[in-house]
Amino acid sequence: MLEIEYQEIYYDNNLSSKQRRDLEHNLAYSLLSNMLKRYFNIENYTIIKNENGKPYIDKKGVYFNISHTNGLVACAVSDTEVGIDCEKIDKAYDKRVQKFAKRYFVENEIKLLESSNFDLCVFFRLWTSKEAIIKKLGGNMSLLKKIDTTKKKTEVITFKDYIISISQ
C-alpha cells in the first residue's frame, strides 16, 4: 500500500524565508497526520528519529516520508519503507545544471542529462529521484554520488512546475 498526497501553498509576500519554511514544515506534518488517520486509522503516535535523523512513527508496519519546497508540501505513507522528494523547476538552475550534475550525479545520469541537452525537467527528475531513494534508505547526502537513479525504480509526478519523486 502506498498513498501520496501533495498540496500547493500560497504565501503572504511579507513572510520571511524562515517563516515560509516553517509553514511548509507544519503543513507537511499536518498532511501526515490526516493521512495516518485516513489510511491507517492512527490518531495518536510519536515521531522518533533514527541515527541518521530519518523520522518514523512508533507504529509497526507504518512508514512515511515528507518533503516540502517553495510552494509545495508532499507526503507519502506506506506499509513499507518510502522516500519522497519534491522540487520546484527553477529556471535559476539553468546555468548551474552541468556543474551540479558533475558534482553529484553518476556517469549514467550525466549521459541522460547530456542527451536531453541539460533539460531542467530531466535534471529535477533525476535530482528528486536521487533524494527520494536516499530518504527511503534513511541515509544522508554522502550517498548522492553512489546512487544511480537510472538503475532504480521511482515514481515521478509532475504537478504544475513541480517534480515529485517517490521511492518504495
Number of domains in the chain: 1
Report the residue count for the chain.
168
Domain ranges, residue 70: 1-168
Average pLDDT for residues 152-156, to the nearest whole number? 92
Contact 72, 9 (CB under 8 A): yes
Q: How far is CA 161 from CA 48, 72, 75, 157, in A?
A: 32, 10, 18, 11
Is the pLDDT confidence value at 120 over 90?
yes
Residue 99: the pLDDT is 87
pLDDT mean across residues, the chain:
92
52, 103 Cβ separation under 8 angstroms: no
**% residues pLDDT > 70 (the chain):** 100
- Binned at pLDDT 50, 70 and 90, residue 139 comes out as confident
Cell numbers for 33, please give them: 497526520
**140: pLDDT strictly greater than 80:** no
| CB-CB contact of 35 with 5 (8 Å) | yes
Dmax (CA) of the chain: 49
Closest CA to 2 of 104, 148, 132: 132
Q: Do residues 120 and 89 touch, judged by C-beta distance below 8 A?
A: yes
C-alpha cell at 44: 495518536
Q: Residue 19 pLDDT > 80, yes or no?
A: yes
Question: What is the average pLDDT across 86-115?
Answer: 89
